[in-house]
Amino acid sequence: MSRLEIRSLTLENYRQYAGENEIKLQTEGDKTVNVIQGENGAGKSNILNAITLCLYGKESHLDETKDNELESYPYVNRKALDEVGDNETAEGRIEITLGEDEPEYIFSRSFKTVKLNGGGFSSQYGDLQLKEKRGGDWKSVEHVSTRLNQILPVHVHQYFLFDGERLDEFFGEGYKDRVKDGLLDVSHIELLENGIDHLGSFEGDFEKELSDVGDAAERKRKEYENAKEKVNNLKGDLDQTKTNISDTKDHIREIDDRLQDSADPEVRKKQQRREYLTERLGDIRGDIQEVRKEASRELVKAGTPLYAVQSLEYTLSELKELSEQGKLPPKIQDTFIEELLEKGECICGEDLTEDHREHLLSLQQEMSTVVETNLEGKMAIPGMLQDAEEHAETLIEKRQKLAKLEEKERQKNKELNEISEQLKAHDIPEDVDVQELEKQRTEYEDQLEDLQERKGKLEVRIEQAEEKRDDKKKAFNEEVSKEEKNAEVLKKIQFIESSRDELESMKDDIVSSVREEIETKMDEYFNEIIWKEENYTVSLTKEYQVRVVGPRNDNKIGSLSAGERQVLAFSFLAALTSVSGFNAPLVIDTPLGRISSTPKRRLAQNLPEYINDTQMTFLMTDEEYTDEVRMNMKPHMSNEYRLDFADEVTEVVPYE
């Protein structure tokens, strides 16, 4: 796959950029990096904003437009606005040329700002336009969003065009949902889900074509239809429950925000502590789940030898005793048979026949096996006992770890309950009604618990209903297949069903493969960048919990510094980008903001190598773009610019 790049970005009268400013960003060979350096306020973040505004009609970084009061911070450059009168309009445009070999695309969006009476502004943007170059000709594309969606869908763009300074928030509260969304977004799971849904309805249309099937078949069709309806109803319930869960979580978050706004520092402190505890509690619960799984695995390994310990010990002591008594190996019996064979006569005096001889020889053979088994037993049993002891020790260790974690969970829960009780008893009159909010919060928490339980139950019921539906379907198909005329339609139905089954099994495999690949890459990137001497193991569980396990086997995620969390988020996003199905350019604002010097150097040096064959444009402050960082990036650099800001106008100049 060749590299899809932003070849150039044109800003015309957009915010600090007066007149037309074309920034050439096309890279060459393995020099995949562009750097645009500028001091705060020079318009660095507005380069990222221009890209997202042009493509998605949304500015990513709104710090410079406080409280979303866009009318106070016009799209159009102030200098251009100075030249128009009250109630007059000034216009601007953003244009992005994207390309690999061919086709090339020019995305453009115009915008305008009206200068209002009294000094205010009102800004709005126009529709996204796209021209596509095929075979040397430029043609307008009608379904612009469809084409954009093929390049970088709106829900995926946040992993490619983002503000690095906000990355340390990525692993804050609710991060598992973000990790899950990221993983599902980049792995194209939506494609499989859409395909499965559409094939389901497509199949349904053919089922309706099965006609004149007779009473028996009609009865079975009815049963099948009812079973299908039940599944659909349950799925509807599940979707509604999920929406309710999400709404309830939003309500809790809203209350948390309001408590955080309390005038009383004690309330704010308690709320902060609760947020911290909730986050930790989530991690601890994730750890508990992991350790429980590990303990179960150990139990499976240790179970059989542990249950057999007494028998094994008894057998070993018997073997030893017999051996000490000279009964093992059973030489006497062996010698006795040999004597009989030699003598050719039984102890009763009868001569041995050929049959007798064969019988004695087989007994002798059997005897030697017994000897070997006894010897093996003596050798193998101590080993088995040793294994049992080791497995038991590991199991005890896991259980102790589990007990410690459960104790931590109890402590955190206790403290959370105490905070809640204290807030409910809070009676200092102020603008935020803490008592009432806390009461509502507890109600929402209870509601959330009920909803989550309902969700689990519905999932089980859906599974059962689906099994029943499939049985009914089979019965109906068997009945209608008795009619020759239905054969062709049934063949189609079976073909669609086989295809749908393939998509279903693919879905689980893909999620699991993507998760494993992201885990491997995250671990690699984090350890490469992080400045600690110790080695950390970064893992991503099936429940989307990220664990950063240190040398003492403890999960460090709760104690990472802001810079470390940023590195972790970077590692995750780099892993996502690398395994994603999207070949899109990366634009990162303030990529090294909170990162200290050693990892900053490592990141500058290694990032272009981690993310192969991807154009990377970094928007950096003077503090980030140090001589050392610049030197480390130099081998990968294609374009380097500086933003010169004066008199509310920024000029983009190539670096000297």
Q: Which residues bind another protein (CB under 8 A)?
A: 1, 4, 100, 103, 145-146, 148-151, 153-154, 186-188, 190-192, 194-195, 198-199, 202, 205, 477-478, 481-482, 484, 487, 490-492, 494-496, 498-499, 502-503, 506, 509-510, 513-514, 517, 579-583
Please, which residues have CB within 8 angstroms of residue 1's CB and are 6 or more apart in sequence? 583, 613
Give backbone dihedrals phi and psi of 125, rounded to 5 degrees, phi first. -115, 160
Q: How far is the CB of 116 from another protein (least distance, A)?
A: 35
Closest CA to 224 of 424, 408, 476: 476
Contact call for residues 625 and 37 (beta carbons, < 8 A):
yes
| C-alpha span between 415 and 29 (Å, rounded) | 57
Q: How far is the CB of 495 from another protein (least distance, A)?
A: 6
Nearer to another protein, 196 or 360 (CB): 196
Contact call for residues 438 and 225 (beta carbons, < 8 A):
no
Please, which residues have CB within 8 angstroms of residue 130's CB and are 6 or more apart in sequence? 105, 106, 107, 108, 140, 141, 144, 147, 148
Helix (H), strand (E) at residue 284: helix 265-307
Contact call for residues 24 and 7 (beta carbons, < 8 A):
yes
Q: How far is the CB of 496 from another protein (least distance, A)?
A: 7
Rg (CA), the chain: 36
Nearer to another protein, 294 or 517 (CB): 517
Nearer to another protein, 404 or 491 (CB): 491
| C-alpha span between 655 and 613 (Å, rounded) | 24
Neighbours of 385 (CB within 10 A): 16
Q: How far is the CB of 167 from another protein (least distance, A)?
A: 24
Q: How far is the CB of 180 from another protein (least distance, A)?
A: 17
Nearer to another protein, 41 or 103 (CB): 103
Q: How far is the CB of 609 from another protein (least distance, A)?
A: 20
Nearer to another protein, 437 or 579 (CB): 579
Residue with tokens 């807030």: 423
**Which tokens sit at 299?**
């139990």
Give backbone dihedrals phi and psi of 533, rounded to 5 degrees, phi first. -75, -35
Nearer to another protein, 432 or 575 (CB): 575
Question: How open is the CA angle 512-537-615, to the nearest 5 degrees?
Answer: 70
Please, which residues have CB within 8 angstroms of residue 397's CB and are 6 or more apart in sequence? none
Nearer to another protein, 354 or 509 (CB): 509
Helix (H), strand (E) at residue 575: helix 562-579
Q: How far is the CB of 178 from another protein (least distance, A)?
A: 20
Q: How far is the CB of 63 from another protein (least distance, A)?
A: 29
Q: How far is the CB of 151 from another protein (least distance, A)?
A: 5
Nearer to another protein, 174 or 214 (CB): 214
Q: How far is the CB of 150 from another protein (least distance, A)?
A: 6
Strands 586-589, 161-163: pairing kind: parallel
Nearer to another protein, 18 or 192 (CB): 192
Contact call for residues 73 and 90 (beta carbons, < 8 A):
no
Nearer to another protein, 498 or 553 (CB): 498
DSSP H helices, 308-353, are 309-324, 331-343
